[in-house]
Chain A
Amino acid sequence: MTDESDSPMTDTDSTTTGPLTAEALTADSAFTLPGFFDALADGRLLAARCTDCETHMLPPRPACYACGSRAVTLSEQPRTGEVVSYTSVNRPPSAFEHLAPITVAVVELDSSARLTGRVAAPLEDLAIGDRVELEVRDPEDVGIDPAFDLSYEAEWPVHVFERA
C-alpha cells in the first residue's frame, strides 16, 4: 500500500484527488458503511464532498453522483438542518413494532447534504422546514432489542433527530 492511499481515508477535509484505489476501500474507510458507522460511533458524521462541484454525499461514496468526478474527500457534517419531508412508519418490521409510530424525515443539513433518519417527535408536531439537530445513540437506548434476530449490524449506532 502506498502513502497516498493510506492517508486521506480517515481524515476529514483531506485533499484527495482520487480516484480511490480498490485497496484503500477497506472496512476502515468511511467511504464504506462499516467505516462510516465507526466514525458515527465516535461522534463524527462524515459525508463525501466532491471537490469539483461541491456536492455532498451521505453516506459517503467514492465518486460524485452529480458530476461523475472521483476527486472526493471526506467532510465532517454539521449536526443541524431542516426537514425536507417526513412520514411516520405505523407498521414497522417486527423488531421495531413496539416503537411505532416512528417518525422518519429527510433532513437537509446546513452543509446541504441530505440525511434520512428518525425524528424524536410525534408526526403531528412536525412540519416541513422545521429545524432539527442530530443525536447519535446506542441501539439499546432507542429500545431496539439486541436479542432480536436482526438482518443488519446490530451494534452500529443509531442516529435520531431532535427538534432544535
Chain B
Amino acid sequence: MQFENVAIVDITETRKSRGKIERGNEYHSLEKYNEIISRDLLDSAGIEKSDVDGWAMGLPYAPTDESYPIRLLETLGFNVQWLTTTRDGGVSASSLLAQAAMAVESGVTETVICSLCDLPMDPYHKNKDSDGPTWDPDPRGYMKQYLLPYGCQGPNERAAHAVQRHMEEYGTTFDQLGEVPVTQRYHATLNPLAAFDEELTIEEWYESPMITDPHRLYDCVMRVNAGLGYLLTTKERAKKLTDNPVYVEGAGFNYANDVSPKPDVTVSGMGTAGDIAYENAGCGPEDIDFVQLYDDYPIMVVEQLEDLGFCEKGEGGPFVEETDLRYDGDLPLNTSGGQLSAGQPGVGAGAIQVNEAVRQLKGNAENRQIDDPRRGVVTGLANLGYGTNTTGHGCVILTNEEETHA
C-alpha cells in the first residue's frame, strides 16, 4: 500500500483508567470516550462536525450490539458518508489507519476520524470467578475446555514460552530483556498520559514477582480504559489544517502466517509485514529514526527488532543491551512508555504506538522529543496462541517529509 495524497492532521488520547471506581478511578462510557476524542480532533484542526465525512472505528472488546457503530455516530451527531470498522486485536490501530488512508486516497471520503475507544476494565462487569461473565469472551470454548483445566490463564504464559525458547536458543539474558521495560518506564516518567509513571530500576525489575516464569510483573502488560483517535484527510486539506502533517509512507500486514503444528515461537510474522511496508516506502531499517513497537511483552519487542531487520535473528538481546533506546539515544523505542507503562486500552492498544509516532513527527512530544526525527516505524501484533507466536501483524511507516522515496 502506497499513499500519495493522504495525511494525518493530528491525534488525541485520553488519560488511562484502571476502571477501579472504588479507588477513585474515573469511569467513562464508550460514548463519552468517543465524544472526548472527536471533540479534541475537531478542535485541534479547527473544523466542524459537518466537515467530517468518514469514520473508521475500532470495535471494542467490551460487548456492544450489532448496530453499535451507527448508533454511536447518531449519539455523537456525526452524519458521515463512509464508515468502516475493524477488530483484529492489537493490529486494529494500524489496520484502521491503513483503511482510512486507502479510503481518503481513493476519494471515497475526504476527512476521516479514526476512533479506538475501549473499556477492558469494566467495574460493572460481573467477576468471572463469581457468577460468570455477562457475555462469553470464549464462544468456541477453547480457553474454557482446553486451557483452564490445566491451570493456564492466558497470554502471560503463552508469551513466557517464547521467552524460554529465545533464552535457550540464542542465550538471551535477563539483563538484556530487562532493558526494554526499564527504558520504557523512563519514557513513561516523561509522559503525563501514562498509566504507570513511577521510575523503575533494573534492580526493582529483578525483584518484582515472577508471574509466569520467566515473566516478571513488569513484563506483563496491564489493561486500561481509554480513548484514542486520529484525524486523516487529503494532503492538500491537511496542510490548511495543520503546520506539521504526518504522512503514511507505507503499510504492510500479515495474518494467519503460521498455523503449522510445529511453529517456531522465536520468529514473528512481522518480517513479512515489515518487508511490504519498507518496499512501499522505498526505505529500509537504516532509514528509520525511531520505533514504536507493539509491546505486550518485552520478548515481542526483541523479536520484532530482529524480524524488522534492525539486527540479525537471535541478536535482539545484545542489540537492546548495546543500543541506547532512550528518546535521545541511538534508536528511540516506545518513547511514550509503550503499553507496558502507558497501559493496554483494549482495541486501542496499538494506537499507543501510532499516537506517539505522530507526536514525535509533529514535534509535539515535549520533554521526550526526539531530535528532528524524519521517519518512524509503528507496529501492531495480535493473536498470540498457545505454543505459537503471534499470527496477526501490522507495520506502518510514517514520515513528516512530504516527498516520498517511491
Q: Which residues of A contact B (CB under 8 A)?
A: 33, 37, 55-57, 59, 65-66, 84-96, 99-102, 104, 106, 108, 112-114, 116-118, 123, 128, 139, 144, 149-153, 156, 158-159
Contacts and interface: CB of A to CB of B under 8 A. Distances in A.
Contact of B261 (A90, A113, A116, A159): A113
A150 B148 CA distance: 9
Given A89-B153, A93-B153, A94-B129, A57 B161 contact: no
Given A96-B151, A150-B148, A152-B145, A114 B262 contact: yes
Contact of A55 (B141, B145, B261): B261
Contacts, number: 114
A-B pairs with the 7 shortest C-beta distances? A87-B160, A106-B387, A102-B151, A85-B161, A152-B144, A96-B151, A88-B213
Nearest to B169: A128
B145 A104 contact: no
14 contacts: A55-B260, A55-B261, A65-B259, A84-B161, A85-B162, A86-B164, A87-B164, A87-B212, A89-B152, A104-B157, A106-B161, A106-B386, A116-B147, A158-B149
A99 B153 CA distance: 13
Nearest to B130: A149
Contacts of A91: 153, 211-212
B152 A104 contact: yes
A81 to B, nearest CB: 12
Contacts of B150: 102, 104, 116-118, 158-159
B164 A116 contact: no
B70 interface: no
B165 interface: yes
Given A85-B164, A139-B149, 16 more contacts: A33-B141, A33-B145, A65-B261, A66-B260, A85-B162, A85-B387, A86-B161, A89-B151, A90-B211, A93-B148, A104-B151, A106-B387, A116-B387, A149-B132, A150-B148, A151-B148
A114 B387 CA distance: 8
A65 B262 CA distance: 11
A144 B213 CA distance: 22
Contact of A84 (B128, B147, B151, B387): B387
B144 A151 contact: yes
B149 A87 contact: no
A159 to B, nearest CB: 8
A123 B214 CA distance: 10
A95 B145 CA distance: 14
Nearest to B386: A116
B21 interface: no
B329 interface: no
Nearest to A93: B153
Contacts of B132: 149, 151
B56 interface: no
A152 B212 contact: no
B107 interface: no
Given A87-B215, A106-B386, A112 B261 contact: yes
A108 B265 CA distance: 14
A92 B153 contact: yes
B146 interface: yes
Nearest to B266: A85
From B128, B132, B153, B162, residue with most partner A Cβ within 10 Å: B153
A100 B210 CA distance: 12
B286 interface: no
A33 B214 CA distance: 31
